[in-house]
Structure 1
Amino acid sequence: MSIALPDIDEATRREQRPAADRPWQTVVWNDPVNLMSYVVHVFREYFGHSPEVATRLMLTVHHEGKAVVAEGAREQMELHTQAMHDYGLWATVQQAPT
């Protein structure tokens, strides 16, 4: 005899995922120093984004104050964050929300 299990949607799966299993993110913050064209340049050069993706991310930073530019393992996000600092951008690492 088999027991039917209820369907679990993706939101429920995310809620049940332990914090240690959640990915980490590199967040770039808006600043009053860097030109928008420079931020696009950094996103294209460092992350290899297309002009459209780099511009969209830059506009998110500009209009919303921040943008998630990468997601993955904590160590890699820390490397990305350091690279953004090396380029003169403000960036932090955070764990992805549930």
Structure 2
Amino acid sequence: LDLSKFFDHLWVTIVWDDPVNLMNYVTYVFIKLFGFSKEKAHELMMQVHNEGKAVVASGTREEMERAVQSLHEHGLWATLQREDHGRV
């Protein structure tokens, strides 16, 4: 019996590295949109810079669609993806 259809899957918002936005600006956007501490926002920004991407939020699909839209409105490259048993 596949119970997954009865549960809302967890979705994640991924921010991708880009050649346009300054690191300080990305940190600022993370603080503004997600309420991260300066340290957490800096850590995620460095992950984006060094690894090419970072998961910055998780929740329902609708929540992550709103997060991606907000990131786009701030000029960041972001996508949403369904989390697959803890793997993105």
TM-score (normalised: structure 1): 0.79
Q: Deviations over 1:46-66 (max 9, x none)?
A: 111000100000001000100
Q: What's the C-alpha RMSD, in Å, of the aligned pairs? A: 1.5
Residue number in structure 2 paired with 1:96: 83
Aligned pairs, number: 83
- Structure 1 runs (4+) deviating above 2 angstroms are 16-22
- Of the two, which has the highest radius of gyration? 1
Q: Unmatched 5+ residue regions in structure 1?
A: 1-15
- Is the partner of 1:49 in helix, strand or coil? coil
The secondary structure found in structure 2 opposite 1:59 is helix
TM-score by length of 2: 0.88
Match of 1:12 in 2: none
Structure 2 residue runs without a partner (length 5+): none
Is the partner of 2:75 in helix, strand or coil?
coil
Corresponding residue number in structure 2 for 1:48? 35
1:87 aligned partner:
74
**Cα–Cα, structure 1 residues 30 and 18, in superposed 2: closer, same or farther, change >3 Å?**
same
Identical aligned residues as a percent:
53
How far residue 17 of structure 1 moved from its aligned partner, in angstroms, is: 6.9
Q: 2:58 aligns with which of 67, 71, 74?
A: 71
